[in-house]
Structure 1
């Protein structure tokens, strides 16, 4: 069902009008373009951003440089992109739900509507266990959380990260507790579980895929409506087998520029996204190999799809006592 949904989304994207050709104006950057990844190198955002940068270089004949600026759950790098000159030469990358919830968490005064959105993939959250933890399936992990949760260490990329959101959804649905260990990104959190520094890590499947295939990590469950098949490993069960009421919205990743950049920039990027990114074999292969979903969306459609997870996550923070601002004061209604 998820893949049918995204195929329909892709078809809509491909049908978008070629704005650049219609207006006869093309943005050609005369200096390198920076894509700020507000997380550590090697994680899901970093992987996606580098693939997108390579495709954009080919389409526009300009250099796109990926710069890692981790810290404060991604808000530091995002803030730097937000405050950069609005000339199209500085972009941010990441998960749209983060941008949509920074104001709720009191981390950054911005909202999803402040950005021109361009998505490449939708990622799936996963809980993986260290080989030394003894956990063989999610049921064993859940039993341990219920019995001694404060002694069970779970690594994530920090507050507002996809893995932390997954653990908070589990906590809210089942009443468990856990000991949260934060890292500067999904890649360090994954390595922590491999090394036995944490018993478990909650990250994105794209970040843990290689270590799962190498049998260095035990995949316990994915936050998805259906089991997910990882090429070279096999099927990973859905968390809904154990906790049926955990939400599983799609988690969209991409790049974005602040509203206010020249119209020529957005017109050009709209066309590049429809004609180059939406047909990118490089991104399709990446998605297939790591069990991500290819989702080349932009504009209003991207906003509407991402808004679903923003609404769910913002109220998850509020109900869990982590919100500094009530979502309803920001126009974020409960699902």
Structure 2
């Protein structure tokens, strides 16, 4: 038997507190993995999680389920994940409301930076301002002119109060010196239904929500909010090109985990999720059907991106006294 040296004792003392985490990481996954979607089934976040599920299940060799936990702009499900064990069995899929909620919902019960660890920035997509084909609006200038002519009376719909679409239009109105009439809906489904029926003349949502209707010509695209034209919307000008230099408001999707989830688990989950999304058939669905620009960026990049989004949209919420529904 080898002699136990002082150096060996020191190393053992250093490693002992880490032993349980190292053991868990080596045996992971050893149970059912839950992908928590904090929105109802049928939305863009739900679609991304369900696209990822089969590939994750196959690559991780574990049962993977998608669990919808909707409520309060995604904060109910996020709160549940923030309070879950950091054992690599619970992962949170979110989109852009996740960066707005800390300012919009100051009593949501958890700290988005402290209680959740970044895992992956899945991708981005522009918001698109659209009009019903029966409306006279064909350019952003037409909409701005109408708002100047009839202040506060031109309605536009979004997926909800405090949503990125609402904040983007609030910022646009401020830069243009006009006022619109905001009509909040409870999700993309109700918004699209009323937009298609002409019950709301203008709507703004991510291209993922609107793609099928833009392709079918049942909604008319007016402007997109990315820094450059999306490849799938090459004929649609950006807001920046339409007279508002530097304007940017992109939808985004990401994954977080309970704070303290072992780095080895995060790294492997990130790698297997990347492989799942980059599978040829899944990638085609993401880019063509969901209109997502796939990024699969890691924890450090997501952390920087998320903090930047919190700063930008938190300021819009505060400066315009925007309240949750």
Fold match, TM over 0.5? yes
Deviation string, structure 1 residues 56-78 (Cα, Å, up to 9, x no partner): 12211223322333332222222
Counterpart for residue 47 of structure 2: 47
| Secondary structure of residue in 1 paired with 2:322 | coil
Q: Contact 1:72–1:107 at 8 Å: present in 2 too? A: no
TM-score normalised per structure 1: 0.78
Counterparts of 2:246 and 2:177 in 1: how far apart (Å)?
12
1:256 is matched with 256
Return the alpha-carbon distance in structure 2 between the equivalents of residues 213 and 183 of structure 1: 23
* Cα offsets for 1:285-322 (capped at 9, x unmatched): 13431442111012112212333322211112122222
1:76 match:
76
**What's the counterpart of residue 271 of structure 1?**
271
1:27 corresponds in structure 2 to 28
Q: Say whether the 8 Å CA contact 1:116–1:256 is kept in structure 2.
A: yes
> Shift of residue 29 of structure 1?
4.1
Distance in 2 separating the partners of 1:58 and 1:127: 39
Q: Work out whether residues 25 and 265 of structure 2, in 8 Å CA contact, stay in contact via their aligned partners in 1.
A: no
Residue 138 of structure 1: how far off its partner (Å): 2.1
Q: Is the 8 Å Cα contact of residues 229 and 291 (structure 1) preserved in structure 2?
A: no
Q: Bigger shift: 74-83 or 217-226?
A: 74-83
Q: State the shift of 1:107 in Å.
A: 5.0
Matches within 5 A, 1:229-308: 229-230=231-232, 235-245=235-245, 247-248=247-248, 250-263=250-263, 265-273=265-273, 276-277=275-276, 279-289=278-288, 290-308=290-308
Question: 1:201 pairs with 185, 191, 203, which one?
Answer: 203
More displaced 10-residue stretch of structure 1: 308-317 or 105-114: 105-114
Distance in 2 between the 1:184 and 1:66 partners?
21
Question: What are the within-5 Å matches in structure 2 for residues 179-190 of structure 1?
Answer: 179-190=181-192
Query: Any unmatched runs of 5+ in structure 2?
Result: 1-23
What's the CA shift for 1:141?
Answer: 1.8
Following superposition, the deviation at residue 51 of structure 1 comes to 1.4
Which has more radius of gyration?
2
Superposed, 1:49-64 pairs within 5 Å as 49-64=49-64
The two structures, once aligned, show a CA RMSD in angstroms of 2.7
Alignment coverage as a number of residue pairs? 297
Residue 283 of structure 1: CA displacement? 4.3
Q: Is residue 2:104 matched to residue 1:102?
A: no
Deviations 1:80-123 (A, max 9, x none): 2223344333322222x433332222252322453233222212
Q: 2:118 aligns with which of 116, 119, 123?
A: 116
Question: For residue 151 of structure 1, what is the aligned residue in structure 2?
Answer: 153
Distance in structure 1 (CA, Å) of the matches to 2:263 and 2:145: 54
Listed as ranges, the gaps of 5+ residues in structure 1 are 1-22, 325-335
- Compared with structure 1, are the counterparts of its residues 112 and 186 closer, same or farther at alpha carbon in structure 2 (3 Å cutoff)? farther
Contact 2:133 2:220 in 1 (8 A): yes
Shift of 1:249: 5.3
Q: Compared with structure 1, are the counterparts of its residues 262 and 241 closer, same or farther at alpha carbon in structure 2 (3 Å cutoff)?
A: closer
Distance 1:110 1:118, change over 3 A: same
**TM-score normalized by structure 2?**
0.81
Query: Secondary structure at 1:158's aligned position in 2?
Result: coil
